[in-house]
Structure 1
């Protein structure tokens, strides 16, 4: 039994008794009665349940046992005829009374657990949601979705039960059906509630992606991105990220053609409602700009390059990685590079992010620099190309690229870094290399 519990321990923690820190001497702990302990975890049971063999366990421990694929009773080793768990109310009340009587010793009373949802409790409201959305009953649909979402929040077991009951399919189909109508205040409320539930029960399957990726659904997503409440805009961004990250390039291009989508994403990046929403918008934008040069050009025309450079100046690691990935994608188009050439922060910020952020950030920063330095002379003429290389030298790129090659990097990054060094080496006669972090001495003002 001990070896079995050691196998379970790393995967899922079983909660211990919560003790009141305000209690007196915790060294004088009362001895827990043996029949109050779970046979698996040997800890005080918080939600005792009985299996078909008549042995009682703590619900969390025996559910973990089942999750590992075991179909036997841990004590008797008999094969269980069913995984149904019967709450042992009598024992739970005895444990609660014992906790109350030992409160002075620092033992907190265990609260009465919520009864897990049954499959029938899930199928009925889901069926009603489908019916309500079919007849256009926004109020009833919204009430039922809120109920399902509340059940899912109660426990992870409830969430899994709701998902296995087909919630994602029904909720996405309802979203698509309601989105086909006119978008007004009543529709926006139920659509935002559906989005909230879908993100709670994500990830989506292919059928759900088909519903969310329909033209009507995308149109509603754009409307919520633009004028929904804070939670609605966040959920719309998360849903769009989930969608475009799962589609092939051709279908991503179709999504990018949705009227107002690019404008809505850029606005959400420019006027963030939360870090999570900004990051979700950046990931969605990355897939969109990577799908085609035409889409990248549209984003560049909306001023995305300047917004990304501002994010890169002072953001956390995760945000910097995502902003660099999007910037590298936008620089695939000529309009994106032209905007970067004219922005005083482009070269200094990219060089600054070459090292000490992460391997991913280094990869995207090198790629972005390489695209700018490689194309500038061809796109803007001999003089402008030399000025671009000189500026890159002045902010310390040469030294950092040498160090990068010394410490090692991936194959594609190594090739681009080597190519950059060759370009910069040819321009060293025209400008001095400096490596100051604050870029003092630059002739170009910010």
Structure 2
């Protein structure tokens, strides 16, 4: 048994008896031998019986099995089954013993929850699949709520549920309910399904196929527009998971869903929670990076102006994501044209080069680089040196020089060096101002 304990030592947190802080520390209390786990030799909190008839504490024997052992630690017999049967009688005896010894500082062990089993989960999933095919929305919602509650009880349960293919089955049920019926009649159960699916990330390719089906995407857009706060959050989280996992061609199919781009922009424009806004920005990042057509649709919805407002007034945690989306939009001519025409573009990008994160610095330098390298062809009224002068006035040269001195990654360093060379020719004719002072800038809104 000593070798068993050594084998488990790295993967097992041995439970200790909780003692009352007012107990007599000099008092010796003997734990009955049959209350001790044969592996940890500590008081069992959740006694379970293995197929060999030996009772262990659940945490100890499960850790033993997870380490790849196929035998009973006490008898060395092969475990014919890994199913563990709760020993309720022994657990009640242990609880009674704890109560009887309360004066010695022993706390009663709580009644443990029985963990979910693959058989139990599979049966629930089969019922969910059947009820969704039959269009029984009420029954489907009850079953999804039940499986979601199981997953929230413990990480062990969540992993068990995920391993049974729940992501595929739940996403297919979402698709089944979205097909051939009005979304308004199924919104409640579909929001419940999305909530359960979020707890099963990452999804596999089959689940992505179900969620990415036209009928599923239409339902997601409807929830983004009319769902409650939780429904909108789960819908955009599922959308983010989808576009972050599929190729550009599939992303373009997603982007063509009627009303999807408008719904995402509205969530950024009129935020309902920080988490929803962040997820919307990440989903938008993948969408604008997929094609020029998609990026232009976002730009026409006023995305550039919204992003610049975020970078001026919102919380710091949003900056990195907003800069990433802005940098993606500036890959395309229409995005750059909108940026040239906005008075906040240059001062915001220069200001955000520091004090956010290395990634944010990279996005800010990249965005400024794209604008400066294309300004002569696309700058309109700012053609010539106008755009460069503006960048110099808000301290771009000094910030870039400092950035090279403190260090940055290869791509950012390369673009910063090119920007310095480009700006250097106009330095003598420019008086710099503090980039933090936006009050003197005329906003177009």
Residues 1:444 and 2:441 are matched in the alignment: yes
Match of 2:234 in 1: 235
Match of 2:11 in 1: 8
Question: Residues 38 and 259 (structure 1 numbering): CA distance in 2 closer, same or farther, change over 3 Å?
Answer: same
SS in 1 for 2:431: coil
Q: What is the distance in 2 between the residues matched to 1:362 and 1:41?
A: 51
Q: What is the distance in 2 between the residues matched to 1:39 and 1:273?
A: 53
**Quick check: 400-409 or 34-43, which moved more?**
34-43
Q: What is the distance in 2 between the residues matched to 1:26 and 1:325?
A: 61
SS in 1 for 2:326: helix
Q: What is the distance in 1 between the residues matched to 2:233 and 2:27?
A: 47
Question: Residues 121 and 445 (structure 1 numbering): CA distance in 2 closer, same or farther, change over 3 Å?
Answer: same
Q: What is the distance in 2 between the residues matched to 1:393 and 1:203?
A: 45
Give the TM-score taking structure 1 as reference length.
0.90
- Please say if residues 379 and 387 of structure 2, whose CA atoms lie closer than 8 Å, have aligned partners that are also in contact: no
Residues 1:360 and 2:359 are matched in the alignment: yes
Match of 2:258 in 1: 259
Match of 2:173 in 1: 174
Question: Residues 28 and 328 (structure 1 numbering): CA distance in 2 closer, same or farther, change over 3 Å?
Answer: farther
**Superposition pairs for residues 136-175 of structure 1, below 5 Å?**
136-175=135-174
**Superposition pairs for residues 97-246 of structure 1, below 5 Å?**
97-246=96-245
Q: What is the distance in 1 between the residues matched to 2:15 and 2:351?
A: 45
Match of 1:371 in 2: 370
CA shift, 1:84, in A, is 1.7
Aligned residues: 439
C-alpha distance after superposition, 1:411-439 (max 9, x if no partner)? 221211111111221221231235x4633
CA shift, 1:379, in A, is 0.7
Match of 1:304 in 2: 303
C-alpha distance after superposition, 1:321-368 (max 9, x if no partner)? 211111111112223223322333322222222123222111111111
Match of 2:248 in 1: 249
CA shift, 1:252, in A, is 0.6
**Quick check: 392-401 or 239-248, which moved more?**
392-401
Q: What is the distance in 2 between the residues matched to 1:316 and 1:443?
A: 22
CA shift, 1:35, in A, is 4.7
**Quick check: 123-132 or 286-295, which moved more?**
123-132
SS in 1 for 2:148: helix
Unpaired stretches in structure 1, ≥5 consecutive residues: none
Unpaired stretches in structure 2, ≥5 consecutive residues: none
SS in 1 for 2:325: helix
Q: What is the distance in 2 between the residues matched to 1:377 and 1:32?
A: 86
C-alpha distance after superposition, 1:192-211 (max 9, x if no partner)? 11111211223211111111
Match of 2:412 in 1: 413
SS in 2 for 1:8: coil
**Quick check: 341-350 or 242-251, which moved more?**
341-350
Q: What is the distance in 1 between the residues matched to 2:74 and 2:343?
A: 71
CA shift, 1:103, in A, is 3.4
Q: What is the distance in 2 between the residues matched to 1:37 and 1:354?
A: 60
Match of 1:96 in 2: 95
Q: What is the distance in 2 between the residues matched to 1:329 and 1:189?
A: 35
Match of 2:332 in 1: 333
Question: Residues 250 and 53 (structure 1 numbering): CA distance in 2 closer, same or farther, change over 3 Å?
Answer: same
Q: What is the distance in 1 between the residues matched to 2:27 and 2:155?
A: 32
Q: What is the distance in 2 between the residues matched to 1:253 and 1:361?
A: 26
CA shift, 1:317, in A, is 5.3
Q: CA RMSD in A?
A: 2.6
CA shift, 1:264, in A, is 0.5
Q: What is the distance in 1 between the residues matched to 2:171 and 2:218?
A: 14
- Please say if residues 268 and 281 of structure 1, whose CA atoms lie closer than 8 Å, have aligned partners that are also in contact: yes
SS in 1 for 2:289: helix
Match of 2:22 in 1: 24
SS in 2 for 1:319: helix
- Please say if residues 398 and 433 of structure 1, whose CA atoms lie closer than 8 Å, have aligned partners that are also in contact: no
Question: Residues 56 and 265 (structure 1 numbering): CA distance in 2 closer, same or farther, change over 3 Å?
Answer: same
Match of 2:347 in 1: 348
SS in 2 for 1:357: coil
Q: What is the distance in 1 between the residues matched to 2:250 and 2:291?
A: 11
Q: What is the distance in 2 between the residues matched to 1:406 and 1:176?
A: 54
